[in-house]
Structure 1
Amino acid sequence: MTDEQFQQKLRGIFTEEAREHLAQIDVGLVALEQAGEAQRGALLERVLKVLHTLKGAARTVDELELERLCHALEGVLAAVRDTGVHATAEQFDLLHKAAAGARQVVDSPGPRSRKVAGMLAAQADAVARALPAQADAAPAAPDFTPDVAPDVGPDPEPADSDGVTGDGGGERIRVDRRCIDSIRAHAEALLPVELKLRHHVDELRALAGVIAARRREGPAEGADDGARIELACTRLAASLEHTGKELHGVRGRLFDAALETALVPSAAALNELPALVRNLARGHGKEVRLDMRGVDVDIDRRVLGIVREALIHLVTNAVDHGIETPAQRSAAGKDPVGRIAIAVTQRDARMVSVRVDDDGAGIDTEAVARAAAGHAGLTDADVAQMSEQQRLQLALRAGVSTRAEVTPVSGRGMGLSIVADKVEASGGQIVVATTPGAGSSFELLLPVGVASLRALVVEVAGARYAVPLAGLEAVRSETQADIRTVEGRETVLAGARVLPLVRLAALFGTAQPGQEQGSGVVIVAQAAGQAFGMLVDAIVAEQDLLPKSFGPLLRRVRWFSGAAQLGDGTLAPVLALEDVAARGLAGGAAAPEAPAPAAGPRRVLVVEDSVTSRLLLKHILEGAGCSVDTAVDGLDALSRLRAGRYDAVVSDVEMPNMDGLALTAGIRANPATAELPVILVTSLQTPEQREAGLRAGADAYFTKGSFDQDRLLATVRRVAGMEAP
């Protein structure tokens, strides 16, 4: 290994170690600010130890400004310890800024971040020098001990030179994540091999049966050869079956070991939240206390990433929307200090629960319904028929926000929809509850690991699909289910409940002419806060599958979250129950019949607030043989879509009144336009902005900076069903 390679490896180890230390520092600073006099000494010593360790690590990789910043922070906390004075909120602001500056040096080392670290170190030195005078001038502060001691996790362990740390119950070794991912990938790859082996066993047995039938029907000569072949095939099938059982056991043990290696404490996702809540509350003029439980629950690192992102959005939503100001809380007879509680619990061997509760004002379901009606194209009649839980689920839709103004924190209605998308993609569920004036709760039910999926393989119009078993309640034949039409909608009678029914063949556009309407099997499922039925042709099997995403080129495929390989080598799309439930929520349980192809030129609606861009797009599309109408913003577009039928929509994103993302969400939420192709053409071109457009339901995304007329026309022809000239 060359010196340069060694330095790169050392830098990678330092980065991982420094991030862990900084997370502990963030938690420790928040706990120290909220702690009573009796607890401050232990908390100070704990944070000082972590700072000292980080300072030494910075020195080993020549991060001198980071070393100086850690030393300055040590000086501030040492002065607090020695003088007995409690730092002011403004001084804690500086400490948090310094921790953020240190994180910037770790994540993005460079002259700019190091300069910021040096400036913060100088400010911290000034605070350390001022604290003794502050102690002499300040009167003794009354002792205050919180009801619950802040949970800041275990004391940091000093790392040995080889990366091994002692935890009292065994050795913890720092492992390159690429090695873990490689082990896990090999373990996961055994599942389709096992499924293929089972399939070959069935084929051999079928072959033995065919040979036996021919021997019984054929001439007497050759009977002995046939008997020997039959016996050999039977023995081979038995041997393969035995090998398959062994493979199943080995795969299970290997996968369990790999999964255990990849498990990390949930504290890795929780430790950054206290500083986030504290800073958000300070910025909003609010007082919020965060309680966390379950920091030692182990979760798959891939699931932990989902938990981390979801918790950031949920606590941001709780501070910004839920918790009231101290004056409002006092007027309502509440404690001026709001409370957010996060609890991570192990539900069973396969599922973990992440629950976020707040004691704020709760969710105004009427305001949510009004916002959804304005942005998602729901009518007053649709909203009136919804239950309270269904209205709560509307808050999880993209573009739905009760905030009248857009702030740097919220107002675009994207945070909760991102949470819902992430949870759905992991095979989990989200449950929302609220009590007016008393608060709200969000519970995420997530798999401990996201590698394998227990699924029901079903057949619909000759094709096979995988339905996640976690979201299913019951399976019954259509005669038992008692399908009926109520107020023009198909429903299924499941026990004492009348549930909306979705015919998957009609939903996917694969219904075969002449197929008997009442035949099949009804699956009762639960997703997006409601129960519903799905009609399929047959149940094929129940088995473990290895789902895979569609990849970056197909970020969003309506109705499906991925695909899995079956035993015969074919791919089965994995049904996204949230998509199916959201469609039933929008009204109309059965899929509308596919419209007949329009005769003549395809009609395209161009939505653009810029006159120049609007005329340019109209000119390009009319030159390609399209009939083009135009709209000046999203609201104008929805009005035109209600009045006429179009084959595609080409829209800008940034527009007044209603932007392109909200327009796309509204189109997808309306059953009449749910399948209408939408193409976004915009100046927004960051990966996050493109992902937001595709997440909203767009079929394609073009940026004006790299605009390609031929690509746009090719895309319009494809999505609108036009023949290329």
Structure 2
Amino acid sequence: MSSTDIRQMTMLELFRHEVESQVEVLNAGLLELERQSDHSDREALLEPLEACMRAAHSLKGAARIISLNAGVNVAHVMEDCFVLAQQDKLRLRRKQIDALFKGVDLLTRIANAPGDDETWGEHAGKVEIDTFMLALSTAMADVSDDEIAPPATAIAATTESAQPTAPTASAASAERAVPVAQNDGREQREQRDSASPNGVRSVRVSADNLDRLLSLSGESLVESRRLKPFAASMLRLKRLQRDAAQALDLLQQKMTGSDEATQVALAEVRTLMLQSQHMVGDQLAELEMFDRHSVNLSQRLYEEALACRMRPFADGTGVGSGNYARMVRDVGHTLGKSVRLEIVGNATQIDRDILEKLDAPIGHLLRNAVDHGIESPTQRAQAGKPEQGKITLEARHSAGMLQVNVIDDGAGIDLERLKQNIVSRKLSTEEIVARLSESELLDFLLLPGFSLRDTVTEISGRGVGLDVVADMLKQVRGTVRITSTAGQGTRFQMQLPLTLSVIRSLLVSIDNEPYAFPLAYVNRTLELQRDQLDILEGYQHFHFEGRQIGLVSAHQILQKGELRAKGESVMVVVIGDNENTYGLAVDRFLGERMLVVQALDSRLGKIPNVQAGALMEDGAPVLILDVADMLRSVEKLSVSGQLENVRQAASEDAGAARKKVLVVDDSLTVRELERKLLTNRGYQVTVAVDGMDGWNAVRTEQFDLVITDIDMPRMDGIELVTLIRQAPHLRTLPVMIVSYKDREEDRQRGLEAGADHYFTKSSFHDETLLQAVVDLIGAA
């Protein structure tokens, strides 16, 4: 949320935000104090004690500002407890830390009371608060594990904290170190916009604002790249002016001997023409410079907007705040286990939306690791392991993906027991289970309702948890893999995209339309020769990484035309994993692109095999394919026996392949006349309505010949021929110009541009044109 939003917040809302940030400090500090409680090094305790004392003091001051007495009382007794520990008058052991954790939870409840009731602590929550006060006082007075007992006066001061306006001496000393927040709420506002520990200022911005910023910056980037074609049109104007100047020079030469007035007029026109040429040249240079700067600025704006969506792994999920560590500790204590959470990769950058979706799955996996993975202290001692179990939560980037691992050093998964559960639940037969691999067996753990617990407890046994993890990963195009080693532990490896906003994609052509495969789900791209394709049990296969992989036409999956094979080879995209791997045959590879994901209109519902949309650099739309959906479509076609034979379809197409001719003319009559003439001779004909349409066609399809007019809107025939000859992969493409105008200069320009033949429409007969086509590319 922005600074303006903060100024519009109520004081209770400000206090709620204050509690959120300070609770993180308290949780992390108490966990550190508990880890250090068995060590005699007091220096190690000073830093977390100071952090906790300051957090409790800040909450006390913030609660006092809004006259929230319940918050003042709870924070005050916690502050006194930390001060006594700082003065070495109280040793914080497990019983004291348990009580202080309850205080942390109570402060959160006070800040988030039902109905925003500021008097909750004095009425509905009074019993709970009084119980906490008594529990903390009792824990402070219990010195059975402490070397030094707190003085009675200190305990009395703590229990009398119901009078918040009379702070204890220890609290007063803390007041001098940490000034109390002022009644105007200025301190809270500043904390929302204050500098972070590394000196970087930060403000809260709403998610919707960030999404709009990213969307607008993406549009700006697309729009900036439209200047290039405009610059190209200016370049064509410059060439036209040059041609006009040459024509004027020729006219002046032919009019040698004419009267002086005519010569003066021609000289004046020539001067104006040169001035016009220079002006266009200067403007073109400025436009090209502006184009470069605009694209660069838009690219930087987009990258900065994208960076705003990226947050460290420690944010949003509670990793940095100690929430997960607190949860692991509490669940472990409930089960009579000592468990420590180690976090690796707090600084790993992840998209905000991914972070929000990760919270619940990580919580499920951590609870599962404590309950199912870590053994009891007795069992660990018998196995020669430390009494305290260890769970590692790791986040890192790997091969363009985010990898989040939850690893425990417990007993591992009992595969024999797992097999028995699978059979007893009638999920498979003994014969099939006996043949399953370890990874296939472990995948049963992800099924809804599946549990290895025979009884239901507060923690587990309901079969809810791991299926939630699998469902979340499907939503964000992620995967989960389970590995286990008997006696050593279990690893859950989640692989997710780094961002849901931008994806690196492989662009392919399918039936002359571009489609995008998210690159993270592409195993390999191959160009297979026909002799590399085999038929096994009626289906096509090819050899890939030591095994046979099924080949399927992407055209059949998308119901878009037929495969157009390139010569004797087939372009293949390999997708899927393990046994569920297939090769999708496409027309062509168009390269890799970074695409800004644009959600499709919700009114369309789920479009089969399509995940989202995006815009190309030139503003053209492209569909991003849903690889998981495509795999399911392949499975359905395979089960129903409807898979088409790509090799056969390609062979038939090749056998019936005819020479392809592109006819470019803005006249419907001329287009149809030439199309019928060529079709009747067996050629396959495609038509384009002008030069721009023709240029787009030759870039996306393969033709054996182009027949074009000269005078057309948007792009004339001379420009089309010039572009074809400048493109490296089109230089050898035969081009024929057919024009109504029988002008020698047009003929000369056409041939100079690179045309192979030039006809005027009034001078050729049907056979003349057809014979020229045969001379250039042969019979159909």
TM range (shorter): 0.5 to 0.7
1:285-339: CA deviations, max 9, x gaps?
3221111233344444333223333321221221222222223333433333221
Q: Given residue 62 of structure 2, which amino acid in structure 1 is its aligned partner?
A: A
One-letter amino acid of the structure 2 residue matched with residue 175 of structure 1 = R
Secondary structure, aligned partner of 2:302: helix
Residues in 1 aligned to 2:378 and 2:127: alpha-carbon distance in whole angstroms: 37
Distance 2:330 2:463 in 1: 21
User: Cα gap change, 1:131/1:416 in structure 2, threshold over 3 Å: closer, same or farther?
Assistant: closer
Superposed, which structure 2 residues align to 1:139-150 within 5 Å? 140=147
Q: Tell me the residue number matched to 1:593.
A: 642
Q: Across the two proteins, how many residue pairs are aligned to each other?
A: 563
Is 1:127 the counterpart of 2:135? The answer is yes
Alignment of 1:598-609 (within 5 A): none
Residues 401 and 501 of structure 1: CA distance in aligned 2, closer, same or farther (over 3 Å): farther
1:614 aligns to what? none
Shift of the 565–31 alpha-carbon distance from structure 1 to 2, 3 Å rule, reads same
Contact 2:507 2:515 in 1 (8 A): yes
**1:172 aligns with one of 179, 185, 201:** 201
Residue 358 of structure 1: CA displacement?
Answer: 0.7
Can you list the C-alpha shifts for 1:569-615, whole angstroms capped at 9, x where unaligned?
6654433334556788x8996874399xxxxxxxxxxxxxxxxxxxx
Q: Specify the code of the residue in structure 1 equivalent to 2:89.
A: T
What is the rounded CA distance, in whole Å, between the counterparts of 2:415 and 2:598 in structure 1?
36
Which residue of structure 2 lines up, in the alignment, with residue 162 of structure 1?
A: 190
Deviation at 1:359, TM superposition (A): 0.8
What does the per-residue CA deviation read over 1:659-702, in whole Å, with 9 as the maximum and x for residues that have no partner?
xxxxxxxxxxxxxxxxxxxxxxxxxxxxxxxxxxxxxxxxxxxx
Choose which of 398, 403, 406 in structure 2 pairs with 1:356.
406
Matched, 1:469 2:475: no
Greater alpha carbon shift after TM alignment, 266-275 vs 68-77:
68-77
How far residue 40 of structure 1 moved from its aligned partner, in angstroms, is: 3.4
User: Matches of 2:457 and 2:608 in 1, distance apart?
Assistant: 31
Pick from 288, 296, 301: which aligns with 2:339?
Answer: 288
Q: 1:175/1:550 Cα in 2 relative to 1: closer, same or farther (>3 Å)?
A: same
CA contact (8 A) 1:455 1:542 kept: yes
Over 3 Å counting, the alpha-carbon distance change for 1:360 and 1:469 in structure 2 is: same
- Flag the 1:85–1:377 CA change in 2: closer, same or farther, 3 A: closer
CA contact (8 A) 1:473 1:524 kept: yes
Q: Which amino acid aligns with 2:22?
A: H
Q: Secondary structure at the match of 1:40?
A: helix
CA contact (8 A) 2:225 2:295 kept: no
Q: TM-score, normalised by structure 1?
A: 0.64
2:574 corresponds to 1:536: no
Deviation at 1:371, TM superposition (A): 6.5
Secondary structure, counterpart of 1:172 in structure 2: coil
Distance 1:9 1:490 in 2: 67
What is the alpha-carbon distance in structure 2 between the residues aligned to residue 352 and residue 514 of structure 1? Answer: 35
Q: Give the secondary structure class of the aligned counterpart of 2:218.
A: helix
Matches within 5 A, 1:248-327: 248-268=295-315, 269=317, 270=319, 271=321, 272-327=323-378
- Out of 52, 59, 63, which is 1:54 matched to? 59
1:224 equivalent in structure 2: none
User: 2:550 touches 2:582 (CA, 8 Å); kept in 1?
Assistant: yes
Specify the code of the residue in structure 1 equivalent to 2:542.
V
C-alpha contact 2:25 2:51 (8 A) present in aligned 1: no
| Aligned positions of 1:501-580 closer than 5 A | 501-508=551-558, 510=559, 512=561, 520-525=570-575, 527=577, 532-550=582-600, 559-566=609-616, 571-580=621-630
Distance 1:371 1:205 in 2: 74
Deviations 1:386-427 (A, max 9, x none): 543444445445454444455554445553343344445445
* 1:316 aligned partner, one-letter code: R
Q: Find the aligned partners of 2:295 and 2:204 in 1 and give their Cα distance.
A: 27
The CA distance in 1 between the partners of 2:69 and 2:344, in whole Å, is 37
- Scaled by the length of structure 2, the TM-score of the pair is 0.60
Q: Which residue of 2 aligns with 1:84?
A: 90
Note the C-alpha offset of 1:468: 0.8
- 1:434 offset after TM fit, Å? 2.2
1:452 matches 2:481: no
Is residue 563–residue 586 contact of structure 2 (8 Å, CA) maintained in 1? Answer: no
- Contact persistence 1:502–1:591 (CA under 8 A): no
What letter matches 2:343 in structure 1? M
Residue identity in the other structure for 2:93: A
* Larger RCO (CA under 8 A, 6+ residues apart): 1
Distance across 2 between alignment mates of 1:521 and 1:17 = 58
Q: In the alignment, is the contact (CA less than 8 A) between 1:362 and 1:438 conserved in 2?
A: yes
Q: Alpha carbons of 1:581 and 1:321: their partners in 2 closer, same or farther (altered >3 Å)?
A: farther
Residues 515/181 of structure 1: CA separation in 2 closer, same or farther (3 Å cut): closer
Residue 190 of structure 2 aligns to which amino acid in structure 1? D
For residues 554 and 377 of structure 1, what CA distance do their matches in structure 2 show? 36
Does 1:40 pair with 2:45?
A: yes
Q: Which amino acid aligns with 2:18?
A: E
Compared CA separation, residues 535 and 118, structure 1 to 2 (3 A): farther
Q: Which amino acid aligns with 1:295?
A: N
CA contact (8 A) 1:263 1:299 kept: yes
Q: Please give the alpha-carbon distance, in whole angstroms, between the structure 1 residues aligned to 2:142 and 2:356.
A: 43
Alignment-mate amino acid for residue 87 of structure 1: R
**How far did residue 374 of structure 1 move?**
8.6
Q: Which runs of 5+ in 2 are unaligned?
A: 149-177, 182-186, 240-249, 252-273, 645-780
Q: Which amino acid aligns with 1:538?
A: R
Q: How much does 1:10 deviate? A: 5.0
Cα 1:306/1:247, change in 2 over 3 Å:
farther
- Per the alignment, residue 25 of structure 1 pairs with 26
Cα shift readout 1:464-503 (whole Å, capped 9, x = no counterpart): 4321112323211232793434456654312434335454
After the TM superposition, which of the residue ranges 22-31 and 498-507 deviates more from structure 2? 498-507
Please give the alpha-carbon distance, in whole angstroms, between the structure 1 residues aligned to 2:222 and 2:483: 40
Distance 2:189 2:418 in 1: 55
Q: For residues 195 and 493 of structure 1, what CA distance do their matches in structure 2 show?
A: 42
Letter in 1 for 2:409: D
2:102 alignment partner in structure 1:
97
Counterpart AA for 2:404: V
Q: Residues 505 and 511 of structure 1 are in contact (CA less than 8 Å); yes or no, is this contact kept in structure 2?
A: yes
Q: CA 1:259–1:542 in structure 2 vs 1: closer, same or farther (change >3 Å)?
A: closer
Find 1:106's aligned residue among 94, 111, 123. Answer: 111
Partner of residue 8, structure 1: 9
1:189 corresponds in structure 2 to: 219
Q: Which amino acid aligns with 1:129?
A: S
Q: Equivalent residue for 1:492?
A: 542
**Native 8 Å contact 1:389 1:529 kept in 2:** no
Select 2:529's aligned residue among 479, 496, 507: 479
2 CA distance for matches of 1:561 and 1:409?
36
How far apart, CA to CA, are the structure 2 residues paired with 1:121 and 1:130? Answer: 14
CA contact (8 A) 1:73 1:124 kept: no
Counting aligned pairs with the same residue, the percent is 24
Q: Which amino acid aligns with 1:130?
A: T
* CA contact 1:506–1:590 (8 Å) conserved in 2: no
- Cα distance in 1 for residues equivalent to 2:197 and 2:415: 50
State the alpha-carbon separation in 1 of the partners of residues 287 and 548 from structure 2: 47
CA distance in 2, matches of 1:384, 1:463: 47
